[in-house]
Structure 1
Amino acid sequence: MTHSPIDPFTPAVELAAAIRRKEVSPVEVADCYLRRMDGLDPRLNAFCHRADADVRKAAAAAADAVTRASSPDDLPPFHGVPLPVKDFLDVAGWPTTYGSAGADRTPAAASDQVVRRFVDAGFVPLGKTTTSEFGSLPFSESEALGISRNPWDPGRTPGGSSSGAGAAVAAGMAPLAHAEDGGGSIRIPASCNGLVGLKPTRGLVARAAVVVEGLAASGVLTRTVADTAAALDVLVRHDPAAWWSPPTPRGSFAEAAGKDAPAGLRVGVLTDSPVAGIPVDPACTAAVELTLRALEAAGHRIVDARLPLPATDELVGSFTTLWNVGGAGVPLADPDRIEPHNRALREAARSIDSWAYAEAVTRTQHLSRRVVEGFLPRFDLLVTPTMACLPPTVGAWRAGTGDDPLAALRNSYPMGVFTSLFNVTGQPAISLPVHHDPATGLPVGVQLVGAPWREDLLLQVARLLERALPWSGRRPPVGLGLDLDLDLGHDLGLGLG
């Protein structure tokens, strides 16, 4: 049987369908992405752990299962599709570093629950992707894992902390990738790399333990809304042993995404930074304006109402008190090798006694309630920039850190100022690559925020915008200084029939 060449930018749902139809083998798919990694990753540094023999073994087993299946319907939804895992979650037999040189690198004995859901859905784990240490910065430039770079401009960051995930998908080294978001770490790399990134409602995707008081959520980075919706169907499963886990939804997110959004949605707008004194780049405001025009053209109503925001000191104080403990629970072999900004965060956390911390958690919950109660009667949907800036240059976070290690966080505020608010409120939020800055050619994301548990509505509106402002044909510069067209020409350009 002669198979069509594999376009590495093929959406995951289409790859899975082609595998079920026996138009392409899981082994061929895995080899395509492994070759892409060979050619591109030395420049981008998206992967921190490769286990090619494991990948090929799993792909061969998937190919055998296709042969033995009596019907394509017997196969799981993403059977044979490769998916890299952010180096925050355990994968059995692989080390987990959390981006830290001080981490215990003993291979994990068992896979995390989220990874098991991916594997049960048929995904083939495709190595591990880079992250900043403990996910505390939206740049992955660490002693442990090195510098990760943006495929659109390797002199800039791919965002983070799911940095490698964003770079891998944008460069066609993976059809989609696992990511985690505690302050914007799905949506920020989505904006930096021209991808779709959904942070689910707090607690919707259960993990082994609640992370950072529920600020963090698991999800994926993709190129299409359909892939995001189908992957969410895989991740959302009731876990009776979890502290927070709602019942499994009765409906399918993929089916919901295929339906039209309700008519006449009330659309709110937030373009001023929630943290005073941070300017918003005109390209980021332009992404909002494009989005609003598309929504108005579709019959939705822009409302002249403001989201009641907390004062800057209250918001920053609430968020950082919780953020300081982000590295808690990480098994370390050598704590002395933790990077300076994370040592400073640990010292700040340890300076607060348990009573004061509990009071801060309670204050944060009340802050969240005020914002959500202000949202619900005013809006069905809120539109904001994803970031207040274009992707910064590599190393931009370092300014002033020699004198004050915590300057690293302050330097990162323009990247996370719009996203982190909705980690606090727990609302679902999605970044969409609706715009490209004409001056730099860099992608620019817009953030849509919904009411809690309304991922269905966000996906419907996202699909509307995907049709109105299509982005699927955009690709970062091929080659990145490498002779990729000669080395991997057979993997480029042609889609699957």
Structure 2
Amino acid sequence: MTRVHAFGDDALGDLDAVGLVEAIQARDVTVTDVVEAAIARVEKVGDPLGAVAYADLDRARAEARDPRGGYFAGVPTFLKDNVDVAGMPTGSGTDSYEPRPIRRDGDLARMYLATGLLPLGKTQLSEYGFSASAEHPRLGAVRTPWDTDHTAGASSAGSAALVAAGAVPIAHANDGGGSIRIPASVNGLVGLKPTRDRLAQDKLMRDMPIRIVSDGVVTRSVRDTAAFFRESEKVYRALHLPPVGDITRPGRTRLRVAVLTAEAGVGATPEVTELTLQTARRLEELGHRVEQVESTMPASLADDFLLYWSLLAMSLVASGRRQHGRQWHPENLDHLTTGLARHARRNLHRLPAAIVRLRRSQRHSARLYADHDVVLSPTLLRETPRIGWLDPGQDYETIRDRLLEWVAFTPVQNVTGEPAISLPLATTAAGLPQGMMFAAGVGREALLLELAYELEEAHPWARIQD
């Protein structure tokens, strides 16, 4: 096992983002020192982890001398390379076009940076975010710092790897099928996928027939995630949703918890099942009422989601020439993207019915939430795979089948629009993090954060630097 991290005795120390805010405000450290420490850490672990898509260190140093306002003023961060940031190219993890610097911030970046977070650059992802493992044909894979022989997970992999390795305390992530929660699980982090429409989004995400993508962050502590959503609400508020508010401690209400260990006809491995039941027993010890249940989701969910995912690939491939002109190189697309696009073209006649069923999916989850407050499941079905298991150079059918063997629980909330959080509550026999996921009804992020605080206090999670 090769473990990589950058924690040390510098201005960042072991501090999370909230701790760093407090240190800056107390003048224990300066923003300039913090940013220089982050740059040094990125230079130490960025290449071994394959996590950085684009670095703009001169800009970061300039901003450190005159940081913008906001609660997180001066806290170093990265944004994922599928959102638009002024002055930076948007590469989307693909070689199919040649990215150029963007003129203005997208809606997400404008909101994100208004909290005061200071960007060092952008992080690597799988091509267009389609795969649950970021393995690039030319640049190589994004690796988890817990063991660099293994993938760092889904398309927010670069962000998660850098946070887990201590390069920055918080980084942007987004989630269209699990890409906040999967890398959080793999890298031992907190990853909250919020309710649909909770945060501002770029136009491409807003225009989807079903808005399955939600933006958020990956962090090392519950309080960092809670603080990010509190501060984001000061910039952008979804008026049709109850506010998240300022969640700073565990809740007092004892919850009714449903436990799932299988979804879409696929069950977790024996080891992951036992880790999930172990988490359920911990909840019982804390006074929560726990009940093992069967999924209420229809058997068609996996096929319908795959078809909708394929529609997004087909749309990107079909519009490539129009969007990128002579810079478009479809021959460089990986086998997963082209296979998904082909699957959509062959099944266009099935799409309308699939979209209707997906839009109705919240009716099925409502059955669970009629009698339960929270649903517990493993974030992923099995232990983190090694690099190469999801290599996009393999044939499409192999990649598809292996994805379905690993990912089954996370797409549910992308379809229903409900919030879900992955917490690093378990460790496999091989010493790798294994996230546990908690989901709740629409608008109930505050409930999930209160439960997350309670579990963090009762069962502190493993730290890579230990």
Alignment equivalent of 1:375, drawn from 351, 368, 371: 368
Matches within 5 A, 1:25-104: 25-62=30-67, 75-104=69-98
Matches within 5 A, 1:31-430: 31-62=36-67, 75-143=69-137, 145-209=139-203, 210=206, 212=208, 213-236=210-233, 245-247=238-240, 249-250=242-243, 252=245, 255-256=246-247, 258-272=248-262, 274-276=263-265, 278-311=266-299, 314-327=300-313, 328-329=315-316, 331-332=323-324, 333-353=328-348, 356-366=350-360, 368-398=361-391, 402=394, 404-430=395-421
Q: Secondary structure of the residue that 2:312 maps to in structure 1? A: coil
Would the aligned equivalents of 2:230 and 2:244 in 1 still touch at CA under 8 Å?
no
Deviation track 1:51-93 (CA, whole Å, cap 9, x = no partner) reads 110111111112xx7xxxxxxxxx5110000110011101111
- The residue type equivalent to 1:441 in the other structure is G
Q: CA deviation at 1:247?
A: 4.6
Would the aligned equivalents of 2:369 and 2:440 in 1 still touch at CA under 8 Å?
no
Would the aligned equivalents of 1:266 and 1:378 in 2 still touch at CA under 8 Å?
yes
Q: Secondary structure of the residue that 2:344 maps to in structure 1? A: helix
Distance verdict in 2 for CA 1:326–1:173, change over 3 Å: farther
- The residue type equivalent to 2:306 in the other structure is T
- Separation of aligned partners in 1, 2:130 and 2:112: 25
- Separation of aligned partners in 1, 2:337 and 2:293: 39
- Separation of aligned partners in 2, 1:325 and 1:146: 26
- The residue type equivalent to 2:232 in the other structure is L
Matches within 5 A, 1:475-494: 475=464
Q: Secondary structure of the residue that 1:84 maps to in structure 2? A: strand
Q: CA deviation at 1:405?
A: 1.7
The percent identity for this pair of structures is 34
- Separation of aligned partners in 2, 1:86 and 1:266: 35
- Mark the runs of 5 or more structure 1 residues left unpaired by the alignment: 66-74, 478-497
Would the aligned equivalents of 1:428 and 1:453 in 2 still touch at CA under 8 Å?
yes
- Separation of aligned partners in 2, 1:435 and 1:463: 16
Q: CA deviation at 1:279?
A: 4.6
2:446 is equivalent to residue 456 of structure 1: yes
- Separation of aligned partners in 2, 1:191 and 1:416: 12
Distance verdict in 2 for CA 1:166–1:250, change over 3 Å: closer
Deviation track 1:271-304 (CA, whole Å, cap 9, x = no partner) reads 12x132x452333223322322222122110135
RMSD: 2.2
Would the aligned equivalents of 1:435 and 1:444 in 2 still touch at CA under 8 Å?
yes
Q: Secondary structure of the residue that 1:396 maps to in structure 2? A: coil
Would the aligned equivalents of 1:264 and 1:300 in 2 still touch at CA under 8 Å?
yes
Q: Secondary structure of the residue that 1:90 maps to in structure 2? A: coil
Deviation track 1:226-280 (CA, whole Å, cap 9, x = no partner) reads 001111123346869xxxx44575562xx22x243242311100012x132x452
Would the aligned equivalents of 1:261 and 1:460 in 2 still touch at CA under 8 Å?
yes
- The residue type equivalent to 2:338 in the other structure is R
Would the aligned equivalents of 1:263 and 1:299 in 2 still touch at CA under 8 Å?
no
Would the aligned equivalents of 1:155 and 1:394 in 2 still touch at CA under 8 Å?
yes
2:1 is equivalent to residue 6 of structure 1: no
Would the aligned equivalents of 1:237 and 1:247 in 2 still touch at CA under 8 Å?
no
Q: Secondary structure of the residue that 2:370 maps to in structure 1? A: coil
- Separation of aligned partners in 1, 2:385 and 2:160: 15
Q: CA deviation at 1:206?
A: 2.7
Q: CA deviation at 1:475?
A: 1.2
- The residue type equivalent to 1:229 in the other structure is A
Between the two structures, name the one with larger relative contact order (CA 8 Å, sep ≥ 6).
1
- Separation of aligned partners in 1, 2:243 and 2:396: 47
- Separation of aligned partners in 1, 2:242 and 2:293: 32
Would the aligned equivalents of 1:190 and 1:197 in 2 still touch at CA under 8 Å?
yes
Distance verdict in 2 for CA 1:381–1:164, change over 3 Å: same
Q: CA deviation at 1:35?
A: 0.5
- The residue type equivalent to 1:335 in the other structure is P
Would the aligned equivalents of 1:85 and 1:125 in 2 still touch at CA under 8 Å?
yes
State the aligned residue count: 446
- Separation of aligned partners in 2, 1:24 and 1:288: 41
Would the aligned equivalents of 1:169 and 1:175 in 2 still touch at CA under 8 Å?
yes
Q: Secondary structure of the residue that 2:390 maps to in structure 1? A: helix
Alignment equivalent of 2:460, drawn from 470, 479, 488: 470
Q: CA deviation at 1:378?
A: 1.9
137-146 or 179-188, which moves further after superposition? 137-146
Q: CA deviation at 1:18?
A: 1.3
Deviation track 1:427-481 (CA, whole Å, cap 9, x = no partner) reads 11000001112x311111100011111000000001100011102x61158xxxx
323-332 or 12-21, which moves further after superposition? 323-332
Q: Secondary structure of the residue that 1:389 maps to in structure 2? A: coil
- Separation of aligned partners in 2, 1:86 and 1:238: 20
Would the aligned equivalents of 1:181 and 1:218 in 2 still touch at CA under 8 Å?
yes
- The residue type equivalent to 1:318 in the other structure is D
Aligned to 1:434: 425
- Mark the runs of 5 or more structure 2 residues left unpaired by the alignment: 1-8
390-399 or 421-430, which moves further after superposition? 390-399
Would the aligned equivalents of 2:250 and 2:452 in 1 still touch at CA under 8 Å?
no
Matches within 5 A, 1:13-24: 13-24=18-29
Q: What is the TM-score with the length of structure 1 in the denominator?
A: 0.85
- The residue type equivalent to 2:408 in the other structure is V
Q: CA deviation at 1:117?
A: 1.3
Distance verdict in 2 for CA 1:396–1:458, change over 3 Å: same
Distance verdict in 2 for CA 1:468–1:237, change over 3 Å: same
